[in-house]
């Protein structure tokens, strides 16, 4: 199973404010920057509980028609959004991927800071697409944290947009997962 990340950060590397707020993102996501095409190849979205709770605050559920797995050890208290197909799972990233692959799913979109960090550390991410938004937050929730080893990337492409967004795409050079 392939696992990919498609995420926005502030220029200083934050994916959200300290309280999880995304009010600094361009309205509606800004101009089209490949997200629609990316989502057309996704079988499942895997996100952490905090990301799920943030997405619940959006005007509309953005993943209609796409299976969503929320990583959590406890039941979700929130009501299911209309049109949502989701379930909760817990366990190590490799176990999650194995269970999803066993269901015939082929491509996962991994979202949320801690979830991305855990999947990267486990050596499960193959592709990273990071769109930098031209804003400095100064503090917030970082995309990357400490890593157990160097994670080598191969640069695929970098695109700039009229709004000032800059998107870079990388593949992960194969490396063993951390122990």
Query: Is 122 within 8 Å of 179 (Cβ atoms)?
Result: no
pLDDT at 178: 53
Taking 80 as the threshold, does the pLDDT of residue 177 lie above it?
no
Q: Do the bridges between strand 166-172 and strand 153-160 make them parallel or antiparallel, or are there none, so unpaired?
A: antiparallel
**Residue 35 or residue 80, greater confidence:** 35
Taking 90 as the threshold, does the pLDDT of residue 27 lie above it?
no
Query: Is 81 within 8 Å of 61 (Cβ atoms)?
Result: yes
Taking 80 as the threshold, does the pLDDT of residue 175 lie above it?
no
* Residue burial 78-108, b: 16+ Cβ < 10 Å; e: rest: eeebeebebeeeeeebeebbeebeeeebebb
- DSSP state, residue 174: P
pLDDT at 176: 55
Residue 30 to residue 20: CA distance in whole angstroms? 19
Helices 93-102 and 113-121, axial angle in degrees (round to 10): 90
pLDDT bracket for residue 11 (50, 70, 90): very high
Q: Of 78-87, 117-126, 144-153, which has the strongest mean pLDDT? A: 117-126
pLDDT bracket for residue 30 (50, 70, 90): confident
- DSSP state, residue 27: G
What mean pLDDT comes out for the span 23-32? Answer: 84
Mean pLDDT of the chain: 91
Sheet holding 85-89, edge to edge: 85-89, 67-71, 44-48, 107-111, 2-10, 127-133, 166-172, 153-160
Q: What structural domains does the chain harbor?
A: 2-142 (3.40.430.10)
pLDDT at 7: 96
For the stretch 91-125, pLDDT in tens is: 999 999 999 999 999 999 999 999 999 999 999 99
């Amino acid at each position: 199973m392939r696992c990919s990340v498609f995420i926005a950060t502030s220029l200083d590397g934050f994916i959200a404010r300290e309280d999880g707020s995304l009010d600094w993102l361009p309205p509606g996501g800004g101009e089209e920057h490949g997200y629609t095409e990316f989502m057309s190849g996704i079988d499942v979205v895997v996100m952490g509980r905090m990301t799920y709770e943030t997405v619940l605050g959006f005007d509309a559920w953005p993943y209609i028609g796409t299976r969503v797995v929320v990583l959590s050890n406890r039941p979700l208290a929130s009501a299911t959004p209309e049109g949502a197909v989701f379930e909760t799972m817990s366990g190590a990233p490799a176990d999650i991927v194995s269970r999803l692959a066993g269901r015939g799913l082929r491509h996962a979109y991994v979202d949320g800071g801690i979830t991305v960090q855990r999947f990267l550390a486990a050596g499960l991410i193959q592709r990273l697409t990071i769109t930098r938004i031209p804003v400095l937050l100064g503090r917030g929730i970082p995309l990357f944290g400490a890593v157990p080893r160097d994670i080598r990337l191969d640069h695929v492409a970098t695109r700039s947009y009229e709004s000032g967004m800059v998107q870079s795409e990388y593949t992960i050079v194969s490396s063993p997962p951390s122990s």
